[in-house]
Amino acid sequence: MASNGNGNGSVATGKGSGGRNGLPKIQTQKRQNAICHDDTAPTVKAQTIDELHSLQRKKSAPTTPLDGVQGAFANLTEEERHKQQLQSISASLASLTRETGPKLVRGDPARQSETPRVSHAPDHHFAPTFSASDSSLKFTHVLYNLSPAELYEQAIHYEKGSFITSSGALATLSGAKTGRSPKDKRVVRDDTTEDELWWGKGSPNIEMDEHTFLVNRERAVDYLNSLDKVFVNDQFLNWDPENRIKVRIVSARAYHSLFMHNMCIRPTAEELENFGTPDFTIYNAGQFPCNRYTHYMTSSTSIDLNLGRREMVILGTQYAGEMKKGLFGVMHYLMPKRQILSLHSGCNMGKNGDVALFFGLSGTGKTTLSTDHNRYLIGDDEHCWSDKGVSNIEGGCYAKCIDLSREKEPDIWNAIKFGTVLENVVFDEHTREVDYLDKSVTENTRAAYPIEYIPNAKIPCVGPHPKNVILLACDAFGVLPPVSKLNLAQTMYHFISGYTALVAGTEEGVKEPRATFSACFGAAFIMLHPTKYAAMLASKMEKHGATGWLVNTGWSGGSYGSGSRMKLAYTRKIIDAIHSGKLLNANYKKTEVFGLEIPTEVEGVPSEILDPVNTWSDKKAYKETLLKLGGLFKNNFEVFLNHKIGKDDKLTQEIVGAGPKF
């Protein structure tokens, strides 16, 4: 726009000084002591594009104040700290057939200018020593505790099937395996675990020997060392600082690194500097199969746990949940040795500090009922109960996504944003909007996100001793009451049983429900005999005055096909009455067969549904179904009768006596 000469510049259109195509020529003069356009900013110092890019990235600063003595690395230079860090990782990756670990450098191999510090691990006492192979001549690049943004870049750049969705979450694929492979999980049986762990019928622990573990470990480590780069996460388990476990995860995929970044507890910069040697290490070589000719192998997949070496090896499956649940199994072994009870449960806390534990198998409503806007969420899945109270084991949530909607699960819906990993979901190719109803890849679609993505999460994730222990069952047989108050023996019995009922498919008409039992509501992950966990639970409940409850979120007025599902509004009223303490003061009566104490009234719930016999029009069918379910409970419990606690089997007899009688 032309100036009239009163501003900082002037424009003159001279007659006869023609411009292009006969147009008048425009001239701009810079007046003395005036500026027309000031674009005299100094040029960047970079001489090349690479240098310019290096200026773009600002060096990270610690996220916590560093005051006082800062631990083992306080007096080390940054260079020395990095060297010790790399030596520790090199030691973790040491092959059993070499004296030292691989040669490591930090950074992405794609950025050759960022390949600084080289480290050789100190000598290790591994034997035998073989002549060097080509792998000893190469460097392995370590991508150490990358941020979500860095991991996004790695995933999208190098991993097929990785995309950013419209909400900002990272959608990725877990390959051929879209769920856990419990039949391929092995635990080393040695002199220690021989007596400590639960083996045999009913146990999830399938044995392997030390030699076979080392064969698989070597296969995994050699695969990881053959890669140009590996991802290394150093993180914590357990929000209780006195009992937290340091874990190291070495993996080949950015997806796995981001998943564990979300699911474990993220260390501060200071904690990372002082991390040192991990207590437990995972070698995730999931893209590489195990050798099926190796002893104990039954497929190309093997998930191997060695509690003596504190190591876990994953071969032949890229499903990230194997890492999460593998570490949960480790906590089920380590924590009881410290007299701390590990629990597969949700946990929340009221504004007055009252804590409740929620146990329940898939489909029972555990996530829905433990995520309450009027209460603080301590955690959704894995917890410890120590002498000080409860603490979450994890730093994140792993939520099912199938049929997810903003209306039903607003907290989970809103947590699926930048930083969240979405596993095996289907999305629109153009808009990148996820279709949570689509089961094309799998029904087991999942979202993994940090727990702070939930608005009412309690950070740090710890709380006082629980007041209520709530066991959830979706009884599709329709004979369990909506709520029952349990004594300690009944709590142990139903905790060990871990009951729910799955609704069968309907190919030709409706088929009857199928009872499912999972010891301690997490049979696939427990390491000790279920009775040991149940006895610890009862002891802590008795010591701290907690009450046990059995809540049926399943059918009323008949079995599946004839009755109807319990209304969620009624279940919420029951849970509210438990939290408030009102249900403790109700009047109770005892049911037949299971001998459960049921309240005669609950505020906001029709009294007639509190006793299931009232809701069945066919009383004979009710009694037959009740006896059938009681028989299923008895048959399931037979596998636990061979275990004794102490010098006699009084406790076992007491627990069995709390079961159904007919």
Burial class (CB in 10 A: 0-12, 13-18, 19+), 160: exposed
Q: Which amino acid is at 539?
A: S
Q: Is 446 a catalytic residue?
A: yes
Q: Which amino acid is at 338?
A: R
How many CB atoms sit inside 10 A of residue 257's CB?
A: 28
Q: Which of 98, 103, 141, 180 is catalytic?
A: 180
Q: Which of 234, 304, 380, 381 is catalytic?
A: 381
Instruction: Assess contact for 151 and 251: CB atoms under 8 A.
Output: no
Instruction: Assess contact for 480 and 502: CB atoms under 8 A.
Output: no
579 CA to centre of own chain: 26
Q: Which of 444, 404, 406, 407 is nearest to 424 (CA)?
A: 444
Q: Is 181 a catalytic residue?
A: no
Query: What is Dmax (Cα atoms) for the chain?
Result: 117
Q: Is 381 a catalytic residue?
A: yes
Q: Is 553 a catalytic residue?
A: no
Q: Which of 375, 383, 446, 579 is catalytic?
A: 446
Q: Which of 362, 564, 580, 607 is catalytic?
A: 362
Q: E strands along 75-138, which residues? A: 103-106, 118-119
How many CB atoms sit inside 10 A of residue 266's CB?
A: 18
* Spatial distance between the Cα atoms of 524 and 507, rounded to a whole number of angstroms: 30
Q: Which of 169, 119, 154, 126 is nearest to 416 (CA)?
A: 169
Q: Which of 344, 458, 467, 485 is catalytic?
A: 344
Q: Is 366 a catalytic residue?
A: yes
Q: Is 138 a catalytic residue?
A: no
Cα dihedral angle (468, 473, 479, 481), rounded to 10 degrees? 20
Instruction: Assess contact for 504 and 511: CB atoms under 8 A.
Output: yes
* Spatial distance between the Cα atoms of 626 and 623, rounded to a whole number of angstroms: 5
Q: Which of 186, 366, 485, 529 is catalytic?
A: 366
Q: Is 325 a catalytic residue?
A: yes
Q: Which amino acid is at 583?
A: L
Which residues make Cβ contacts (< 8 Å) with residue 236, sequence separation at least 6?
244, 245, 246, 247, 264, 265, 267, 271, 395
Q: Which of 367, 371, 391, 497 is catalytic?
A: 367
State the catalytic residues: 180, 325, 344, 362, 366-367, 381, 446
